[in-house]
Structure 1
């Protein structure tokens, strides 16, 4: 006789819920300390200039996602190894990225973001080459077909903030990283990183 499997959350011995953590893997650009400080200052200025109700992102979590590799109840070491092998095959030159606009995306908790009016050719080439390498490595199941470069600085509660210009932030990009995180958790864990070579 088959056992009945309950769909209720598992309880501990005291009756409390212990939800399963969600592990996330992604490839991203990470700003240096000076750029992170400028992103933080721009975020504070945007928040102060409009009635923005939002949960601000800590500077240690600023990043620009290149490719999302999926969520799972445990860290997928097989996906991480395949992504590392794929990333190590990519050759790209350093480039400058300029964040010059603050805007927001729709969503359950809408992300407030900094974006670039013009996405540099070097960034687009890196995204495309990485995407191709990941697909060839067999870890392309979660890859987006489109790329909108952005750095999330807050998550809005209520109305979306309008799109406004900011003082341009020049970001010299000379590398990217594979990151692991626990959704809703603390700092990211860098699993590997690659330098861009002229």
Structure 2
């Protein structure tokens, strides 16, 4: 998740330098285990070798995830939103399930994301999205929520074209973990604020 556009020093009203502004991002995500990350990375390596025209910015395997719900970008880490989201996560009833990803494609955008997708969305995944959405709305966090769900795992961001839909794998992912994730846009690491085992 881009070079920091705020790296250039900014001047305050007295001509001194101010601290670079930060954008804090919060989202719920499904997290793959190490073996599944390695399988996704192999697909990315194949794309690097076979699609050099993409000139993509590739996601580090440790950051692979599938976003379930986006909770917005904020100028600071909002404790009230974190607490409300944690309540929604605590109240979620969802079990582990199998998800098979079987093709790569692109989404439109300034740097089109190269993504792994599935021909069939498992019913438990759709149900998890719906139940968590309902819990977030009850917790007062409906403002940023999408009305639609297109499950995917982003492998990279293209600077040179878009992928045609291409079969891969199939790659089996046993989905067992949900997390509330915090990131600072332009910085490399994700911070897991809360995690839940799907059981």
Give your verdict on TM over 0.5: yes
Partners of 2:102 and 2:136 lie apart in 1 by 30
Deviation at 1:52, TM superposition (A): 2.1
Local SS of the residue matching 2:132: helix
Deviation at 1:132, TM superposition (A): 0.3
Gaps of 5+ in 1: 1-8
Residue by residue, what CA displacement relative to the aligned partner does 1:87-129 show, whole Å, maximum 9, x if unpaired? 1111111100111110010011111100111110010000000
Q: Which residue of 2 aligns with 1:38?
A: 39
Residue by residue, what CA displacement relative to the aligned partner does 1:45-98 show, whole Å, maximum 9, x if unpaired? 123222321111111111100000000110011001000001111111110011
Match of 2:173 among 142, 160, 171: 171
Backbone CA RMSD of aligned residues? 1.7
The TM-score, its normalising length taken from structure 2, stands at 0.90
Q: Tell me which structure has the larger Cα radius of gyration.
A: 1
Gaps of 5+ in 2: 1-8
Partners of 1:140 and 1:184 lie apart in 2 by 26
The range that moved more, 43-52 or 125-134, is 43-52
**1:1-198 equivalences in 2 (<5 Å):** 10-11=10-11, 18-50=19-51, 51-197=53-199
Residue by residue, what CA displacement relative to the aligned partner does 1:121-173 show, whole Å, maximum 9, x if unpaired? 01000000000000010011000000000010100002112110111110001
The TM-score, its normalising length taken from structure 1, stands at 0.91
